[in-house]
């Protein structure tokens, strides 16, 4: 199952990239209270739910792209691969966030989490302006 989210933001692409493209920044991720990043793996701590470990597979600040894979989660995952891209445009920038996950039963939770992240991103950007 692939979840594709595209969202327009009225800000500079570098502002959005500073939020979503920083592996150890978690203020935009719902439910995550802390993060440890060792340069390859980020461990996200969710009080009451445990921890999630994601391997950062690729991060390119110039093209504003990052891909990562969850390999340790409180919910069983057979496969997880996600990518984030921030694309500048005439109105500001667009976030393109794609995740492929197996089993499909996890799709609603992941989609809900992404929607919550979009709200938090918008709030952070409001406070920057």
Q: Where are the domains of the chain?
A: 2-128
pTM above 0.85, yes or no: yes
Q: With bands split at pLDDT 50, 70 and 90, how would you rate the model's confidence at 61?
A: very high
Q: With bands split at pLDDT 50, 70 and 90, how would you rate the model's confidence at 75?
A: confident
**Span 2-128: which CATH code?**
3.30.530.20
Tokens (6 digits) for 105: 């039963």
């Amino acid at each position: 199952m692939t979840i594709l989210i595209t969202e327009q933001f009225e800000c500079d692409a570098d502002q959005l990239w500073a939020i979503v493209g920083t592996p150890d920044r978690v203020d935009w991720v719902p439910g995550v209270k802390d993060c440890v990043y060792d340069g390859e793996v980020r461990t996200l701590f969710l009080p009451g739910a445990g921890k999630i470990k994601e391997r950062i597979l690729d991060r390119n600040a110039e093209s504003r792209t990052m891909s990562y894979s969850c390999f340790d989660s409180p919910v069983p995952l057979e496969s997880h691969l996600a990518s984030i891209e921030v694309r500048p445009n005439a109105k500001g920038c667009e976030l393109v966030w794609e995740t492929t996950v197996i089993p499909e039963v996890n799709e609603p939770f992941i989609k809900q989490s992404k929607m919550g992240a979009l709200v938090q991103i918008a709030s952070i950007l409001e406070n920057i302006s």
